[in-house]
Amino acid sequence: MEKRNPQLRNIKRILVANRGEIAVRAIRAIRELGGESIAIYSEGDKNSIHKDLADFSICVGGANPKESYLNIPSILSAVEVSLADAVYPGYGFLAENPTFAALCERSNITFVGPSSKTLEIVGDKAKAREAAIRANVPVIPGSPPVKDLDDAIQNARKIGYPLLIKASAGGGGRGMRIVNNERELIKLLPIAEREAEGNFGDPTVYLEKYIKNPKHIEIQILADKYGNIIHLGERECSIQRRHQKIIEEAPSPFLTDDIREEMGKAAVRFAKEVDFVGAGTVEFIVDENKNFYFIEMNGRIQVEHPITEIITGIDIVSWQLRIADGQPLTIKQEDIKQKFHAIEFRINAEDPENFVPNIGKIKRVYIPGGFGVRVDTHIYCGYEIPPYYDSLLAKLIVYGENREEAIIRGKRALKEFIVEGVKTLRDFHLKILEDEEFLNGSYTTNLVDKNYLRET
């Protein structure tokens, strides 16, 4: 399908502007491509393994992300002193920050991702929605950014209740409010605007029709600098708690081949419309009648990318780097075949009964293995989990010839996954693998909140 392990030609020293498992993942890919990796770390991450695996490492500030991983001047200084050719942003932190990408562009530093102009579009939900409409991609009935309360009321009456108030600059399920009637809209609109301002620095919100019990399905995109765009199929991401994904699988047990093909083509059209370059994901929700609607595009690598790598045999992170290096895609759409069924479990440091984050020292750890098992992680025995960052400790990925085999392997591997000293979601994942709705593939985004979530 493609030549294996080609070497980087133009970007040789790459600063990894992230931490945890995605930093480890990037460092491995850089090394395989013949490049040198520079890790950055905070004072809170002085014992993190990613800094030891890289060729070089630089402390960029305090434990608080604002002082380190979100500190643009400090990171750009690290780029300068390390003589880096490029910056790999991973996910979260500055991965989709158009200002950071623009500063890299102005400094003649390669940003491994789309252009700052593209990030400005896809990072603004209202602008992304407009782009989807231009690309003839189905969108949920909704409004432009609301001007004031009267404008919101008028738009809500056109759309119909229930609806969502959504932050234009939001993401990851944050900044959303469900509204069932006009009285709730009047009450919740100013609250939503304040939340948007507090979380994203932008109070702009818009309205969108609320689709109850949808499936959340995303399409993986690869696009080079020469106009070549392909998709790598879909991932089912409907196992969520409070809009945060915790289990993903590929392919979706819900889609038909016809819908799968239609969604892939729609995702490619959207990527072309926004001049996308790199690895990104176009996200949709799908109703019970298999009608799909665009919700957003993530212009970065996704946490759940390994399941797509498993079923297609394509190294997405390697391709991110190769595309940034100026190499053209050598894969054609007709080359993409889904060979296996894969499931990813996020092993978060959280109480499995209520999802409350749990920090502490890992006293013992055993990583499962065997045929059909992959684990992406940065933890080790004795690792002290810092309280400043995301709770993700590891990603357990299992695969099999079919979904049934993958589920059986998932149960086996989860039972082997031992982490002592902190609580993790391992036992919760085992419960889901016994859930009837999950087993028959009918589950939707409300499964966890409806059946498993206990408020604290």
Q: 205 with 327, same domain?
A: no
Classify residue 2: in a domain, yes or no: no
What is the rounded distance in angstroms from the CA atom of residue 114 to the CA atom of residue 112? Answer: 7
Q: 187 with 232, same domain?
A: no
What is the rounded distance in angstroms from the CA atom of residue 120 to the CA atom of residue 176? Answer: 20
**Of the residues 176, 209, 242, which one is the last residue of a structural domain?**
209
What is the rounded distance in angstroms from the CA atom of residue 434 to the CA atom of residue 455? Answer: 23
Q: Are strands 86-88 and 13-16 parallel, antiparallel or unpaired?
A: parallel
Q: 196 with 227, same domain?
A: no
Sign of the four-CA dihedral 176, 129, 263, 25: negative
Residue written as token pair 């593209």: 118
**Of the residues 160, 179, 209, which one is the last residue of a structural domain?**
209
Instruction: Specify the 3-state DSSP secondary structure of 439.
Output: helix
Angstrom CA distances, 95 to 114, 143, 224, 293, 453, stand at 10, 27, 18, 25, 30
- Of 228, 211, 229, nearest to 294 by C-alpha is 211
Residue 330: HSE in the Cβ half-sphere, 13 Å Cα cutoff: 13
Instruction: Specify the 3-state DSSP secondary structure of 323.
Output: helix
Range of the domain at 32: 13-112
- For residue range 108-132, what is the model confidence (pLDDT) as tens digits? 999 999 999 999 999 988 899 999 9
**How many independent structural domains does the chain possess?**
3
Q: 280 with 387, same domain?
A: yes
Domain with residue 146: its CATH number is: 3.30.1490.20
Q: 185 with 222, same domain?
A: no
Q: Which two tokens stand for residue 225?
A: 């600098």
- For residue range 275-322, what is the model confidence (pLDDT) as tens digits? 999 999 999 999 988 999 999 999 999 999 999 999 999 999 999 999
Long-range contacts of 188-193 (CB under 8 A, 24+ apart): 189/146, 189/149, 189/152, 189/165, 192/165, 192/167
Amino acid at 292: F
Q: 174 with 223, same domain?
A: no
Q: 230 with 358, same domain?
A: yes
By the 10 Å C-beta count (0-12 exposed, 13-18 middle, 19+ buried), 455 is classed as: exposed
Asked if 276 and 221 touch (Cβ cutoff 8 Å), the reply is yes
Q: 310 with 221, same domain?
A: yes
**Of the residues 91, 112, 133, which one is the last residue of a structural domain?**
112
- Which pLDDT tens digits describe the chain residue by residue (456 residues)? 455 668 999 999 999 999 999 999 999 999 999 999 999 999 999 999 999 999 999 999 999 999 999 999 999 999 999 999 999 999 999 999 999 999 999 999 999 999 999 999 999 888 999 999 999 999 998 898 999 999 999 999 999 999 999 988 876 566 689 999 999 999 999 999 998 888 788 899 999 999 989 999 999 999 999 999 999 999 999 999 988 999 999 999 999 999 999 999 999 999 999 999 999 999 999 998 899 999 999 999 999 999 999 999 999 999 999 999 999 999 999 999 999 999 999 999 999 988 999 999 999 999 999 999 999 999 999 999 999 999 999 999 999 999 999 999 999 999 999 999 999 999 999 999 999 999 999 999 999 988 997 654
Cβ neighbours, 10 Å, residue 282? 30
Domain with residue 320: its CATH number is: 3.30.470.20
Which of the 8 DSSP states describes residue 346? E
Q: 300 with 195, same domain?
A: no
Classify residue 130: in a domain, yes or no: no
Asked if 285 and 272 touch (Cβ cutoff 8 Å), the reply is no
Amino acid at 274: V
What is the rounded distance in angstroms from the CA atom of residue 123 to the CA atom of residue 49? Answer: 31
pTM value surpassing 0.95: no
Q: 266 with 200, same domain?
A: no
Q: 403 with 305, same domain?
A: yes
Active centre residues (catalytic): 300
